[in-house]
Chain A
């Protein structure tokens, strides 16, 4: 089966610095990955996704990197802002499956 986990439960960064949140997955058959942001008391919001035929994808201030060799993906947030404070989840989907498996999340805290 698939499991998706995170290296660190919490991450503190200075406002304006770049943030890097890491995630590992176990099943090499996973072919689709998503990063979500969850603010307190709300449902997760989609940030960015990446398919296994890519190793990098960029959005507005965010970049996702996928390393299939070591089954690792990361989310990079450029110039972190106070509004980026949230819990970030990675999620993976097995090829042909209809369900997303989530990691435990990383709480990102921004220091002024």
Chain B
């Protein structure tokens, strides 16, 4: 069966420090991969999605970047965190194919920038 791993679960980082959040998927090949951010009490904002290795689409201009060095690995990064980067970050995957299918989410990383 497919599983998605996202870590760490919580993170407290000072302003100006770098960030690296990692997400890996098991049990599937060629998945679509996504990074979402969720502010407290709000909906999910799509940050990045990827349909293949090295292929990254950015949805909103921001202080973050994403990379996909391997088929089932998706990394969210920042060189210098801002206070506004605080939030709940969620990684997700969906199956590649001719028809849209549901996305499966990891358990999230709660990032607090202080």
Interface residues of A (CB under 8 A from B): 31-32, 34, 36, 41-46, 49, 51, 89, 91, 93, 95, 97-105
Neighbour of B46 across the interface among A42, A44, A95, A100, CB < 8 A: A100
A45 to B21, CA, bound (A): 21
A contact face: mostly helix, strand, loop, or mixed: strand
**Minimum CB–CB distance for A40 against chain B, Å:** 10
Contact B51 A43 (CB under 8 A): no
Q: Are B102 and A49 in contact (CB under 8 A)?
A: yes
Among A42, A98, A101, contact of B32 (Cβ-Cβ < 8 Å)? A98
Q: Which B residues have a C-beta under 8 Å from some C-beta of A?
A: 6, 32, 34, 36, 42-46, 49, 51, 57, 59, 90, 92, 94, 96, 99-108, 110
Number of A-B contacts defined by CB within 8 Å: 62
Report if A43-B90 is in contact (Cβ < 8 Å); known contacts: A98-B32, A99-B49: yes
CA–CA, A17 and B81, complex, Å: 46
Closest 10 CB pairs of A and B: A43-B105, A104-B43, A32-B100, A102-B44, A93-B100, A46-B102, A98-B32, A99-B49, A102-B43, A44-B105
- Chain A residues, Cβ within 8 Å of B110: 41
* Cross-chain contact B43 with A103 (CB below 8 angstroms): yes
B103: A residues at CB distance < 8 A: 34, 46, 91, 100
